[in-house]
Chain A
Amino acid sequence: MIRLEQLTKVFETAEGSTVAADNVDMEVAEGQICILLGPSGCGKTTTLKMLNRIIPPTSGKVYIDGKDTTTLDTIELRRNIGYVIQQIGLFPNMTVEENICVVPQLLGWDSGKAKKRAAALVEMMALEPAVFLKRYPKELSGGQAQRIGVARALAADPPVMLMDEPFGAIDPINREIIQDEFLKMQESLGKTIMFVSHDIDEAVKMGDRIAIFRDGKLEQFAAPDDILAHPANAFIADFVGGDRALKRLRLVRVRDAMDGEAPKVRAEDTLATAASMMREHEHRHIVMVGPRGRARGTLSLAEAESGPDSAKVGEHQRGIVATVGVDEDLRTAVSTMFTHDLAWLPCVDGDGYYKGQITQRGITHLLGETYRHRSDGVAGESGVNAQTAPPAESASGTAEHAETR
């Protein structure tokens, strides 16, 4: 657990003093990824670096696992915090193995144990230990180097990690891959992570919580969905972008948006049964499943009503055009719908078993729900065109989300 209390940094420069972090208060629960987000010069990196005292705070306190870090030895503190920087900073005079073993060595591990750990970490990063352990940083590609950078930070298994735009220097394709790998790893590692980013998409994807900074002040600290749905003020609305409602598609899994109760028919059922089931559930389509429950075909309400009542579904069904996995995000679902010009999709699990259906109307309804709910409660925030909404109104509408001071 990380807790910042009134954390402040004032830089004295020749032109006068600059407040880089202004009474930042926040708390990150154990095992969560907290993204520090904002335009450059907003104080997010300064805040991060005050955690391991690379930058000494002017005032305020940092608690890690309830312990005030000012009472700890700086060197000791840093050895127990994983640190990844944007430029990666692998030592070019050391092999991958030596780089990873730096902190374990500093902590006095025996070298056999440290080497075993290095091999395990390289493997965890989806790289072949036999190939990579003896390589030098100059022999690695950007993506590989970054993976090793993360491995090095994980070497001594620190409970807390600080990451300063760790994936910033990698090309977009590799960045996506590394982000996915990292999230998968985090699921089992459960580290408490502070992560600096200036990329809202990355923040939404990686973060359990997002802290948005401006001019050293923490403007909003909330879950990604909350920030996208209810930006605390015009600056944040602007920063997260006019398409923020679309960005939320990434945050919701198909499983949570689909109609799991959707009816299904078998090949031997009659069209009349199928039509009545659809009418009962107010669906315009129904999925025909095979004997073991795999999605086999589809039937629309119009087709069911136009055919003879006693005809079998199996004779009138159309094949499956497209399906979507229940663990995919809504973005994928919508994209699949657009690709195939469909307004709905059957949802299947990893083995192809039918689980429910998802409709465009269902998705828009789900995304619109929080906006409607909000405007019922308080005035302001039209949600659709918040960018043009008067700032004062939208700020007051969501004041409880703001951490402004």
Chain B
Amino acid sequence: MRAYRRADRYLGVEIGSRGPRHHGELVAPIGVASELIERGTRRSEEHGVARTGDGGRTSHRGGEFTDLLALHARRTADGREVGGGGADEEGVPHRAELGREHVKLHALREAARGMGMKPVQRLARVEIPLAVPVIMAGVRTAVVMNIGVMAIAAYIGAGGLGTLISRGIAQTDSRQLIAGALAVSLLAIVADYALLWLQRRLTPEGLRT
């Protein structure tokens, strides 16, 4: 609980304004979460525009994903009209300043709306299939990072391959250390390849390169 209060203090006014103060203990975690999400989205939108502003790095996968996030964020923010026309309604000048990738997604969404797809249908048939490679890229990164980080779990007695490394350090036994490091690396690489295979299987054929 103390930790939450600290977070509350750290994030200050913005969280306070989110709910009644006396519910601090309960509200804080939610506040932190929503704040983080919001900041993330804001950053991703800024990122989307900045990235497309210089135009050159469109092949960067992460960028595509944030673009996609930005699209969704804008829609939910706009509210009522399905898929809210914020971007649509501002029309050409707005579109012109966005990058090519963004325009492509925008065009696909508009085509889907114009053909009479409902929001759920658009999500299932167009938006999610298109996002699969990007989502999977994120999953892979997360899995590889976690396998690496989990080696530390040995220090709190959780076992795993980390024990080899921690013991190796404690006993200055480089054979154990190297064996542990290699095993962790191998696991990460194997997991990454397995997920890559999955990613290729899940990516719609028309998007495969």
Chain A residues engaging chain B, CB cutoff 8 angstroms: 11, 13, 20, 40-41, 45-46, 49, 52, 54-56, 74-81, 83, 85-95, 102-103, 106, 136-138, 152, 162
Q: DSSP class of B's interface residues: helix, strand, loop or mixed? A: helix
Residues of A within 8 A of B82 (CB): 74
Q: Roughly how many angstroms separate A208 CA and B90 CA in the complex, as a whole number?
A: 30
* Given A45-B92, A89-B108, A89-B110: A83 in contact with B115 (beta carbons within 8 A): yes
Q: In the complex where A136-B205, A137-B206 touch, is A78 in contact with B113 (Cβ < 8 A)?
A: yes
CA of A80 to CA of B116, assembled, Å: 8
Bound state CA distance, A153 and B69, in angstroms? Answer: 29
Q: Are B108 and A91 in contact (CB under 8 A)?
A: yes
Q: Which of the residues B90, B104, B107, B121 comes within 8 Å of A11, measured between beta carbons?
A: B90
Once bound together, how far apart are the Cα atoms of A89 and B110, in whole Å?
A: 8
**Beta-carbon contacts under 8 Å, B92-132 to A:** 92-93, 103-104, 107-108, 110-118, 121, 125-126, 129-130
27 contacts between A and B (CB under 8 A): A11-B90, A13-B90, A20-B91, A41-B92, A49-B88, A54-B88, A54-B113, A55-B85, A75-B116, A77-B116, A78-B115, A86-B107, A87-B103, A87-B104, A91-B108, A91-B111, A92-B204, A92-B206, A93-B129, A93-B130, A93-B206, A93-B207, A102-B115, A106-B116, A106-B117, A106-B121, A152-B115
B107 touches A85 (CB 8 A): yes
**In the assembled complex, which residues on chain A have CB atoms less than 8 Å from the CB atom of B89?**
11, 55
Chain B residues near A103: list those with CB within 8 A. 115-116
Q: Are A78 and B114 in contact (CB under 8 A)?
A: yes
6 pairs of A and B residues whose beta carbons are closest in the complex: A89-B111, A79-B116, A136-B206, A78-B116, A93-B204, A83-B114
Question: Is B54 located at the chain interface by the 8 A CB criterion?
Answer: no
Q: Cβ of A93 and Cβ of B126 under 8 Å apart?
A: yes
| A49 closest partner in B (C-beta) | B88
Besides A92-B204, A94-B204, 14 other A-B contacts (C-beta < 8 A): A20-B91, A40-B92, A46-B91, A52-B114, A54-B110, A76-B116, A81-B114, A87-B103, A87-B104, A89-B111, A93-B206, A95-B206, A106-B116, A152-B115
Within the complex, the shortest CB–CB distance from B23 to chain A, in Å, comes to 35
| Residues of chain A within 8 A of B103, CB atoms compared | 87
* Residues in chain B within 8 A of chain A (CB atoms): 81-82, 85, 88-93, 103-104, 107-108, 110-118, 121, 125-126, 129-130, 204-207
- Give the distance in Å from the alpha carbon of A106 to the alpha carbon of B207 in the complex: 23
What residues of chain B lie closer than 8 Å to A55, measured between beta carbons? 85, 88-89
Residues of B near A76 (CB, < 8 A) are 116
Interface centre among B91, B107, B125, B129, by most chain A C-beta atoms within 10 angstroms, is B91
Chain A residues with Cβ below 8 Å from B91 are 11, 20, 41, 45-46
How far in angstroms is the closest Cβ of chain B from A258?
A: 44
Complex CA gap A102/B111 in Å reads 11
**Contact between A79 and B115, CB atoms less than 8 A apart:** yes
Nearest neighbor of B126 in chain A, beta-carbon distance: A91
- Say yes or no: A85-B114 contact (C-beta < 8 A), given A91-B126, A93-B207, A136-B206: yes
Inter-chain CA distance A13–B88, complex, in Å, is 13
| Docked-complex contact B114 and A92, CB < 8 angstroms | no
Known contacts A13-B90, A55-B88, A93-B129; A83/B111 CB under 8 A = yes
Chain B's closest residue to A9 (CB) is B89
* Residues in A neighbouring B85, C-beta threshold 8 A: 54-56
In the complex, how many angstroms separate the beta carbon of B111 from the nearest chain A beta carbon? 3
Residues B206 and A54 in contact, CB atoms below 8 Å apart: no
Which of B90, B111, B130 is close to A85, meaning CB atoms less than 8 Å apart? B111
